[in-house]
Amino acid sequence: MCGIVGYIGNKNSTEILIDGLKKLEYRGYDSAGVAVFGQNGVNIVKSKGRIRNLEDKIGVNVPQGVCGIGHTRWATHGEPSDTNSHPHKSGRVTLVHNGIIENYSELREEMCDEGRVFISGTDTEVAAQLIDKCYNGDPVAAIYDAVSKIIGSYAFGILFDDRPDTLYAIRKDSPLIVGIGEGENFIASDIPAILSMTNHYYLLEENELAIIKSDSIEILDRNRTPLKKDVFVATWDVSAAEKGGYDHFMLKEINEQPRVLADTIVPRLKNGVKNIFIEEMPDVSKIKRLHVVACGSALHAGMVGRHMIERIARVPVITEVASEFRYSSLLFEEGDAVVVISQSGETADTLAALRIAKKKGIPTIAIVNVVGSTIAREADIVLYTCAGPEIAVATTKAYTCQVAIMLMMALRLASDRHTVSDEELEHYVELLRQIPDVVAGELENADVYKQMAESYKNCEDLFFIGRGYDSALCWEASIKLKEISYIHSEAYAAGELKHGTISLIEPGLPVVAIASGDQLFEKTISNVKEVKARGARVILLCKKGANVDDTVYDDLIEIPDVDEFIRPIAAIVPLQIFAYYTACARGCDVDKPRNLAKSVTVE
């Protein structure tokens, strides 16, 4: 949700900034801009739309200078336009911002009364004006003075007209790292932006201020005391953030699933030992109930996990959307723990949910992909998915890794609570080991789903139905399809369809029935017959060899006949591929669907 990058060193910064912004474009792509210190002061170029529009606008007039900041925007306050694009310059201050300034209208009004003139409709310009207003030759004092008046979230990269050799940065509730180079340094919202230049970085904590020159980085706290910070080293390699020959990041990430699932699962398994799973969770015996809180696909992974945990470990699980959870009555009981799930580790609502739980003294467990992200740093226990950088806005590999961790969590709880025998546990371990190969086998059938996508590409509405964990899978399959192909789709518990929604079924309307589970298979097939009888065009997803009459479906997706415990992962893979090729067949911008951003750091 908005990407920030900054450079100071000995090279021309424009190319470095643009390259960094391209790596951050998944955070928003309503507009992009750069500001570079040149011979005659700060030179700003910005443009509505994608980074390629900015590049077109720059053309051959590349701003020259060794210090600059850049921004790619997901609009919150003020429509996407050239004027509302970042960087914003007010007086002697130029800045880029990720976050939301909640009291921006009061601040703006106050400064208008003082005679300041605003040119954009953004909350960010208010921050630029405020820092300029507070500036009396001491940038640190001006920044701290200004942020003390700001309510909301921010990561700022800031330039002062009279400090051409210094880049300033500060953050609160929005991510920002400071990259450490040789004779050059960086700021960025996320590691991929700077990975081709350095993998060493500092994490800025809340309201720590970085003063960055080409050969030095000083980080201060609010009292202006210099801090000694740990240097982090990113283990992701540069190629992980490149397309590597695939047409889209999404397709690359779908194909990476066997490897990243192995990276996530295998190190956590040890043969023949009890209590083998997830050593990061030292003592789970006191847990009586789990609240699983997340947003989007991460929540869907939690919904699948709920079924596994309840069935295998007999621990009750409540799943809740983070944006609702944070404002709910929060009725915790003794023995409760909160599990938050987040690929980015920065999602604002999920982070807020985590903080609320911590404040109430509830133990917190986070399932996170990005190492060192805010959620990872603040949770009591962190279980990392090892999916590597995920760039496509629509998640695939991070989602399946989240489900894998939830399955392992189910076993860890089951083992401690003695709800499964040692033999069963060994059996489950063996099943977990099979997951990467099962997924790899499914990827070989991609062409089948590509052809299927061709024949459904013109539909405008579609339903996904299923029961039990298949119903949770419907949510993920549905969001995958709709977010990238713009086909309207809905996920429905198969048994609930007849309570109103079945009136929407008409001849030819596609219904994807997910019937991968054993227990409720026949029940789902009954619901399939109900929609088939009303003319629906049915795609049935079930395990190979399932006993099903071929008159109930039009197209069949068969997943391998693997144990039911690992089928939720096997079942989503063909549906990811189907969504991908459907979006391609409709000519959609698969990696950057309209209006979306991958990392949602605002409420």
* 374 in contact with ligand G6P (CB under 6 A): no
Largest CA distance in the chain: 79
* 297 in contact with ligand G6P (CB under 6 A): yes
- H/E stretch holding 582 reads helix 567-585
Answer yes or no: are the C-beta atoms of 513 and 537 closer than 8 Å: no
Sign of the Cα torsion 442, 446, 451, 454 reads positive
Determine the Cα–Cα distance for residues 336 and 290; give it in Å rounded to an integer.
6
Q: How many CA atoms lie within 13 A of 432 on its CB side?
A: 31
- Three-class SS of residue 14? helix
* 257 in contact with ligand G6P (CB under 6 A): no
Q: CB-wise, 43 or 297, nearer to ligand G6P?
A: 297
* 248 in contact with ligand G6P (CB under 6 A): no
Answer yes or no: are the C-beta atoms of 467 and 524 closer than 8 Å: yes
* 94 in contact with ligand G6P (CB under 6 A): no
Q: CB-wise, 295 or 571, nearer to ligand G6P?
A: 295
- Three-class SS of residue 104? helix
* 344 in contact with ligand G6P (CB under 6 A): yes
Stretch that binds ligand G6P, among 209-217, 290-298, 435-443, 509-517 (CB under 6 A): 290-298
- Which listed residue (347, 471, 516, 527) binds ligand G6P by CB under 6 A? 347
Binding mask 143-162 for ligand G6P (x = CB under 6 A): --------------------
- Three-class SS of residue 258? helix
The footprint of ligand G6P on residues 380-439 (CB under 6 A) is: 393, 395
Determine if the peptide bond prior to 593 is cis (ω within 30°): no
Determine the Cα–Cα distance for residues 27 and 346; give it in Å rounded to an integer.
11
* 158, amino acid identity: I
* 393, amino acid identity: V
In SS3 terms, 369-429 reads as CCCCCHHHHHCCEEEECCCCCCCCCCCCHHHHHHHHHHHHHHHHHHHHHCCCCHHHHHHHH
- The distance of closest approach from Cβ of residue 94 to ligand G6P in the complex, given in angstroms and rounded to an integer, is 29
- Which listed residue (211, 251, 298, 408) binds ligand G6P by CB under 6 A? 298
Q: CB-wise, 343 or 489, nearer to ligand G6P?
A: 343
Say which residues have a Cβ less than 8 Å from residue 229's Cβ, sequence separation at least 6: 202, 203, 219
Determine the Cα–Cα distance for residues 339 and 263; give it in Å rounded to an integer.
21
- The distance of closest approach from Cβ of residue 566 to ligand G6P in the complex, given in angstroms and rounded to an integer, is 22
- What residue has token string 């909350």? 123
* 98 in contact with ligand G6P (CB under 6 A): no
* 174 in contact with ligand G6P (CB under 6 A): no
Closest CA to 404 of 277, 255, 295: 277
Q: CB-wise, 143 or 572, nearer to ligand G6P?
A: 572
* 600 in contact with ligand G6P (CB under 6 A): yes
- The distance of closest approach from Cβ of residue 241 to ligand G6P in the complex, given in angstroms and rounded to an integer, is 16
> For ligand G6P, which residue has the nearest CB?
296
Pick the catalytic residue from 46, 172, 397, 598: 598
- Which listed residue (43, 94, 120, 342) binds ligand G6P by CB under 6 A? 342
- Report the alpha-carbon angle 493-499-505, nearest 5: 80
- The distance of closest approach from Cβ of residue 296 to ligand G6P in the complex, given in angstroms and rounded to an integer, is 3
- The distance of closest approach from Cβ of residue 511 to ligand G6P in the complex, given in angstroms and rounded to an integer, is 24
Determine the Cα–Cα distance for residues 71 and 98; give it in Å rounded to an integer.
9
Q: Is 598 a catalytic residue?
A: yes
- Which listed residue (296, 305, 363, 389) binds ligand G6P by CB under 6 A? 296
Q: CB-wise, 413 or 600, nearer to ligand G6P?
A: 600
Q: What are phi and psi of 263, to 5 degrees?
A: -60, -35
- The distance of closest approach from Cβ of residue 402 to ligand G6P in the complex, given in angstroms and rounded to an integer, is 8
Q: CB-wise, 295 or 536, nearer to ligand G6P?
A: 295
Q: CB-wise, 184 or 591, nearer to ligand G6P?
A: 591
Q: How many residues bind ligand G6P (CB under 6 A)?
A: 15
Say which residues have a Cβ less than 8 Å from residue 337's Cβ, sequence separation at least 6: 287, 289, 290, 291, 362, 363, 364, 365
Stretch that binds ligand G6P, among 93-101, 133-141, 295-303, 517-525 (CB under 6 A): 295-303
* 309 in contact with ligand G6P (CB under 6 A): no
Pick the catalytic residue from 2, 134, 386, 401: 2
**Strand runs (DSSP E) across 385-536, as ranges?**
461-466, 488-493, 510-515
Q: CB-wise, 120 or 402, nearer to ligand G6P?
A: 402
Strand partners, 170: 156, 209
Stretch that binds ligand G6P, among 127-135, 192-200, 294-302, 422-430 (CB under 6 A): 294-302
Q: CB-wise, 152 or 175, nearer to ligand G6P?
A: 175
Determine the Cα–Cα distance for residues 367 and 396; give it in Å rounded to an integer.
15
Determine the Cα–Cα distance for residues 480 and 471; give it in Å rounded to an integer.
15
* 343 in contact with ligand G6P (CB under 6 A): yes
Q: CB-wise, 220 or 304, nearer to ligand G6P?
A: 304
Q: CB-wise, 297 or 489, nearer to ligand G6P?
A: 297
Q: How many residues are given for the chain? A: 603
Stretch that binds ligand G6P, among 247-255, 292-300, 313-321, 568-576 (CB under 6 A): 292-300
The footprint of ligand G6P on residues 570-599 (CB under 6 A) is: 596, 598-599
Residue 595 CA, chain-centre distance (Å), reads 15
Answer yes or no: are the C-beta atoms of 310 and 318 closer than 8 Å: no
- What residue has token string 């900054």? 6
* 295 in contact with ligand G6P (CB under 6 A): yes
Determine the Cα–Cα distance for residues 237 and 31; give it in Å rounded to an integer.
28
* 189 in contact with ligand G6P (CB under 6 A): no
- What residue has token string 């309510």? 151
* 68 in contact with ligand G6P (CB under 6 A): no
- Which listed residue (255, 350, 374, 601) binds ligand G6P by CB under 6 A? 350
Q: Is 213 a catalytic residue?
A: no
Stretch that binds ligand G6P, among 81-89, 132-140, 143-151, 340-348 (CB under 6 A): 340-348
Determine the Cα–Cα distance for residues 13 and 69; give it in Å rounded to an integer.
8
Strands 364-368 and 317-321: unpaired
DSSP 11: S
Answer yes or no: are the C-beta atoms of 473 and 571 closer than 8 Å: yes
* 319 in contact with ligand G6P (CB under 6 A): no
* 485 in contact with ligand G6P (CB under 6 A): no
> Which residues carry out catalysis?
2, 598
Residues that bind ligand G6P (CB under 6 A): 295-298, 342-344, 347, 350, 393, 395, 596, 598-600
